[in-house]
Amino acid sequence: MMFTALTLPNGSTLPNRLAKAAMEENMADTGQLPGPALNRLYQRWAEGGVGLIITGNVMIDGRAMTGPGGVVLEAGTPLEPFRLWSQTAGRQGAQVWMQINHPGRQVMANMGGNAWAPSAVALDMGKHSKLFAQPVEMSTVQIEEVINRFAATAYAAEQAGFNGVQIHAAHGYLISQFLSPLTNRRRDNWGGSLANRARLLLEVVRAVRARVSPGFSVSIKLNSADFQRGGFSEDDARQVVLLLNELPVDLIELSGGSYESPAMQGRTIDGRTLAREAYFLEFAKDLAAVAHMPVMTTGGIARKAVAEQVLASGIAVAGIATALAEVPDLPLQWRTGQEPTALPPPLEWKDKTMASVAAMALVKRRMRALGGGDTSRARRYSPLLTMIVGQFRMVLLTRRYRAWLTAAGQLQA
């Protein structure tokens, strides 16, 4: 089943049911544009046998970044680097979708950009909280600006040759912040009831759909829950899916968590235990039962038997992330009967935040190696050394990013 085609609601077709899910690369070239390293990385995935490739998040606003090495696509951004990126990723016939995102309050304090949010509720990262910018409650004018920016980025992505976009409404980023009652304490039409908290997501979908052609895929990445007590719940997710059923959405990817509760890495802070593999499968099965569009789930899928279990459960697409950084041609190997070990060993550090940072650093180091032309099997890097090197690299990237913002006259005090 995993190597059978899937026709989406807009009539376009995925050649198989395996997707390379989004991972933040932090590998942008000068000017926050895709360059040779990203192209080499995506060429490896293009040759690896997936039917759908979803990019790491591309920022709709250069003043608001999840990391200083991120790619930015705004109205007026030169499209030629993006055309080369989409052509490289789609060379073997996979559909290529651009994940588009605004981080909201999940912005590092030292970057000098905006930290817009539904309400001025700061991140609670314990002793690491001060690393993040103090969020500012958005005005209605700023909300409308964000909606227009999502639409402009989606339109530019289509002009650059991408087959679709994935609107990031999960993992504690801006749209996810609007959905959660913990972070959205507004008393206007954008807060309060779930219908109001979901308004930003629905308006973004409508605005994007109005700017792109009918055959261009519009998908959503949604939390099945944010795994924080009093936050966005499984029932909330179900109600949002029912609302999205009324719109022309081609696929929903279900994930979970946020910076505060990184369920997407297999850990929660509300005491719930996730499955060791296919973390969100049980949630996804329940939501797929009410969804009118195909459903995809991602999180811990690294073995062929697990991918088959996901697809046999009524899920249309199995999303693979970290395992494809470890083994970029994993689907091709599955086709030929091979089953390589495709996940690094878990980090059991006492400081869970630092463990999360180190885990992400290891994945990013592996992606940089692939983007640098490394064709060897994944090496076992030192987590501590990788994290230290990664932090030093972030310092250099932050300097470059701040210089870019300054040149554009947009650096915040």
Q: How far apart are CA 197 and CA 186, in angstroms?
A: 9
- List domains and CATH numbers for the chain: 6-407 (3.20.20.70)
Mean pLDDT of 22-43: 97
Average pLDDT over residues 225-244: 84
Q: Which amino acid type is present at position 262?
A: P
Residue 225, pLDDT score: 64
CA atoms of 309 and 252, how far apart (whole Å): 19
Find how far residue 130's CA is from the centre of its chain: 24
**CB 382: neighbour CB atoms within 10 A?**
11
Distance CA(39)–CA(41), nearest Å, equals 5
Do strands 52-54 and 18-20 pair parallel, antiparallel, or not at all (unpaired)? parallel
Q: Which candidate, 6, 81, 4, 93, places its Cα nearest to that of 48?
A: 93
- Helix and strand numbers, DSSP H then E, in the chain: 13, 14
Tell me which residue has tokens 């519009």: 218
21 neighbors 351 (Cβ within 8 angstroms): no
Q: What is the mean pLDDT of residues 391-409?
A: 93
pLDDT in tens, 81-90: 999 999 999 9
**Taking a C-beta distance cutoff of 8 angstroms, is the pair 66, 56 a contact?**
no
Q: Is the pLDDT of residue 331 over 90?
A: yes
State mean pLDDT over 116-127. 88
pLDDT confidence of 70, banded at 50, 70, 90?
Answer: very high
What digits encode the pLDDT tens for the residues 180-193? 999 999 999 999 99
pLDDT at 77 over 80: yes
Nearest alpha carbon to residue 38 among 62, 63, 73: 73
Distance from C-alpha of 13 to C-alpha of 20, rounded to nearest angstrom = 16
Reported as a pLDDT band with limits 50, 70 and 90, residue 275 is low
Q: CB neighbours of 162 closer than 8 A, spacing ≥ 6? A: 82, 86, 96, 97, 98
Q: What pLDDT, on the 0 to 100 scale, is given for residue 126?
A: 80
Kindly report the three-state secondary structure assignment for every residue of 310-342. HHHCCCCEEEECHHHHHCCCHHHHHHCCCCCCC
Residue 269 in this model has a pLDDT that exceeds 60: no
Cβ partners under 8 Å of residue 244, min gap 6: 201, 202, 205, 220, 252, 291, 293
Tell me the pLDDT of the chain averaged across its residues.
90
Residue 72: predicted pLDDT = 98
* Arithmetic mean of pLDDT, 206-210: 98
pLDDT digits (tens, 9 = 90+) for 365-378: 999 999 999 877 76
In this model, does residue 270 exceed pLDDT 60? Answer: no
User: What pLDDT is attached to residue 342?
Assistant: 81
Q: What is the pLDDT of residue 271?
A: 44
Strands 52-54, 13-14: parallel, antiparallel or unpaired by DSSP? unpaired
Q: How confident is the model at residue 97 (pLDDT cuts 50, 70, 90)?
A: very high
Q: Are 355 and 347 in contact (CB under 8 A)?
A: yes
Q: What is the DSSP string of 184-245?
A: ----STTSSSHHHHTHHHHHHHHHHHHHS-TTSEEEEEEES---STTSS-HHHHHHHHHHHT
Which comes out higher in pLDDT, residue 308 or 351?
308
In this predicted structure, what is the pLDDT of residue 61? 97
Q: Using DSSP bridges, classify how beta strands 71-72 and 58-59 pair: parallel, antiparallel or unpaired.
A: parallel
> What single-letter DSSP state applies at residue 79?
S
pLDDT value for 272: 45
Q: Do 217 and 250 contact (CB within 8 A), yes or no?
A: yes
| The pair of three-digit structure tokens given for residue 60, joined into one six-digit string | 């709709």
| Res 279 pLDDT > 90 | no
Lowest model confidence (mean pLDDT) among 41-55, 234-248, 299-313, 373-387: 373-387
Residue 58 pLDDT level (bands cut at 50, 70, 90): very high
Check whether 274 has a pLDDT greater than 50: no
388 falls in which pLDDT band (50, 70, 90)?
A: very high
Q: Is the pLDDT of residue 94 over 70?
A: yes
Q: Higher confidence at residue 269 or residue 101?
A: 101
Region 3-7: mean pLDDT is: 97
48-57, 208-217, 272-281: range with lowest mean pLDDT: 272-281
Question: Which of 61-70, 220-229, 297-306, 386-395 comes out lowest in average pLDDT?
Answer: 220-229
